[in-house]
Each structure stands twice: as structure tokens, then as C-alpha cells.
Structure 1
Amino acid sequence: MKAVIIEDENLIAKELQYKISTVADDVQILDVLTSLKTARKWFMQNAEPDLLFMDIQLSDGVSFELFEHFKLNCPVIFTTAYDEYAIRAFKVNGIDYLLKPVDTDELQKAIDKCRTMLQQQPKLPSSMEELMKLLQNPLPATTLYKEKFVVSVRNNWIPVLTKDIACFVRDNLNYLYTFSGEKYILDYVTLEEIEELLDPKYFYRANRQSIVHIDAIQTIKPHENQKLTLTLKAPLKMEQDVSREKAPAFKRWFER
């Protein structure tokens, strides 16, 4: 199976190539394209691959624009640091998505799904048409994201508004911390479940153990190895690390 990667972050592209080789040694990476301009030129000169890995936000535009110039029928796996494009609604047919940093198990599932699809009738055009319609007419945020979480305190249920939550932390159990410093246990198995319910405009998955609210961040300290350390505002004052691989995407999210 021949594939092309469209990704403008060199380190992320190399890491994705390595992970692909570990989970699917039959996938041959034909090329890594680092911009929309380069991608347009490549598709004018080459036949479409069996599979596409596409970052959404590139340095010179949005990768969706390729579908306005080329009729592509191959499966597409979008890779993105945050899901403001509502890709979650389209984990169907020839479209899949992976949030950065790409999880190896999720990568394997996505490739297996595309491999199965290639053995059947391609359905990408209809899926992409639906996706483009959603991008033009996005659903209201209230229908996508959770407005409050219900926590249990001494056998009583208490609502906590999502806008009052500074961060979510995984430490054997899942906890939420409010801006005022209150801590509650959440009845969710994984942070992934919680992340699905949050507006990525305000919440960021800093690492495997935490999700932080943009307004809870007091300072950001860069390290020589390009990792970042976030210090949250008082009364929390806790620190959360952002990996070197996620640092560029975090910076784009934070300074938008």
C-alpha cells in the first residue's frame, strides 16, 4: 500500500513515518509534502496514492483546499493537534482522524480500516462532500460540547460548570480542578472520554495525564530540549509538561 504524508512539521512527519513502519510494514511512504503548494505540484505530476495522511492546518493554508483542485478517491487519515474542524463527526467511510501526538494503537486501527476500505468500493467523495458542508455550516457549540459536569460529594450530586474548570488530571482516577482550587473525582474511565466533550478552543490535552483550560495557564517555560512546562494560576500552581513534539501545535493553539 503506497501512502503520502502531508505535514509541515519535520519532527512530527518523521515520527509518523516511524510509527507507520512499526504498525504496518506493507505501507510504503512515497513522499512527505510540507506545504499546500508542494502538495498541489505533487498531485499534478503523480497519480494519487492508496492512502493519504494529511495535517489539516499547514503553513500556507488548509489541506482541505486540495479537494477543490483534485478529485481524490483514496482514503484519508487527517492528523491534527486540535479538532476545531469537527473531524470527529466523520470517522466514517474513507475519512478518519488522529489527534497529535498520534497514538500507535489508534494509528494501526486507522490503517486497518483504510486497508479494508480499499478492498471494497471507495466512498470518499460522498464523505468529503458531507465534511465540506459541515465546515461551511458548523453546528452550534452547544450541541457539540458539554456545559457542565456532575460530581458526587457526600452522596449528593453537584453540578460544576465547564467554564469554571481549570484542568482535568488523571492520577489513578480522573479529577477536575476548578479555578477556585476545588478538586472533584469524575466518573469517567479515561481522559479521552472527557476530551471528547470539551471545546478545543478552550481546552488542550497537554499530555497523557492532563487537559488544561487556556485561562488557567499562568506561565509557559521552554526547555533546552524544546519541551514546555506550564504553570497554572493560583490557587492551583501545579505544573504540567508539554512534550517537544506537541510544543509547536500548543504554541499555535495558545497564541491564536
Structure 2
Amino acid sequence: MKTVIIEDEKAAVRNLASLLNEIRPDVKIETILDSISSTIEWFSTHSMPDLVFMDIHLADGSAFEIFEHITISCPIIFTTAYDEYALRAFKVNSIDYLLKPIGKADVEHAFEKLDNLGNSDLATDANRSPQEEEWLKLIHALKKQEAYKTHFLIPLKGDKLLPVSVDMIQLFYIKDCQVKAVLTDGTEHYFPQTLDELADCLNPALFFRANRQYLVSREAIKDIDLWFNSRLSINLRYSRITEKILVSKARVAEFKEWFSKK
């Protein structure tokens, strides 16, 4: 198993190499990299290894900067003295997150996860363990999150395309049987997608499907009125839209939870 270690502490490298030699003699350490720059250079000129051990805090910055320049498609096991980066780690092919000082049991458990993940493609729903099922659900959820749209190219008259980031969009709504988007500068643009398609490709943490006609962001909401039959009426900051945007009684709790999340 070809393995790369990305770590700038020599003592940590020696400890990890010793544990790998003891636990998995089949592991061959291809190289040891100690910085963001050397990692980017190495992966740009070499074939992908089978596994990467990566410290998060390197001499020239955060290891997450590496993924802004190159793609590492093999499994990654993060090693760090800090635990606040766990969720971010799992978004970049991480299969485990080991807190220093790393012991034998930590590495053994990480390889168990790696082996289970490798076998999961061949496993059926009937013979997967509960741990494997939970792991696959996590991987699928994170991959879906990574696939959410962050930018659009809006067709304009005159054979032009307007690049727009999602954070520039206040809301989507249906007008004259077509979908329009309202941007933060107050301009409106027609979108070729349906509202259902947009709801599927946008991060639900950023936009809420209020009803069949409106998909709104938090920034678009001016205030909210309590309405008849325990419904809510959303008032928009965008003054051109004066009609009431009603949230049904069945979705009020879901809306409140969405709005209060960071």
C-alpha cells in the first residue's frame, strides 16, 4: 500500500512510521512532505498513492489550502492536535481524524475503517454492518453537500453570460410561468431551471422553499407575520414583491429551525 505522510514535526513522523511498520508491514511510505508547497508540487508530478496521512497545521499554513490547488482522490487520514476541524476534514475524502499524540489503537482503528470502506462497494444491504451503513451515509451526505451549486451563468441578451455567485441571490420566484432570480443589487434575471431543479441543486441551509412559488434566502426576509391558521407570512426586503409569501402550518416548525441555524 503506497502511502504519503504530510507532517512537519519530525517526532510525529518517526512515531507514525514506527506504528505503520508494526501494524501494517504492507505499507510503503512513498515520501514525507512537510509543507503545503512541497505537497502541491509532489502531487502535481507523481501518481496518486493509496493512502495519505496529513497533519492539518503545517509550517506554511493550513493543510486545507492544498485542496484549493490540487485534487487528492485517495483516502486521507488526518492527524492533528486540534479537534475543531473534523467536519471540514470529512469533506475532502477523509476516512478518519486522529488526535495527537497518536497511539497504536488509533492507527489500527483507522485501518479498520479503511478496510471496511474498501469492501463496502462489494457488500450488499443485507450483509453490511451498522457501522458501515452509517459510514456510507456520511460519505454520501458530504459528497452531496460538495455538489451543491455555488455559481451560475445567467443568459443575457446579446449572446452574453452573467456570472453570479449564490450569495448574490436573494430569492427565486415564479412569474409568468418562468423562474426569476432577484440579486442583492435589486436586478431580476430569468433562469432556465425550474424551481424544483433549483431547490435540488442549492444548499438547503441557504435557501428555503416557502411554497410552490418562492425559494428564499435569509437575507431576503425583512420580517415575518403570524398569520391565520397558525401559518406564517414572510415579508421581503425586495419592495417590488408585495404579495404575501405564506408558509403552511405543517412547515412552520421546519422554517423556524432553518432560519435559526447558522
Task: Report the TM range for the smaller structure's normalisation.
Answer: 0.3 to 0.5
Structure with max Cα Rg? 2
TM-score (norm 2): 0.45
Structure number with higher relative contact order (C-alpha < 8 Å, ≥ 6 residues apart)? 1
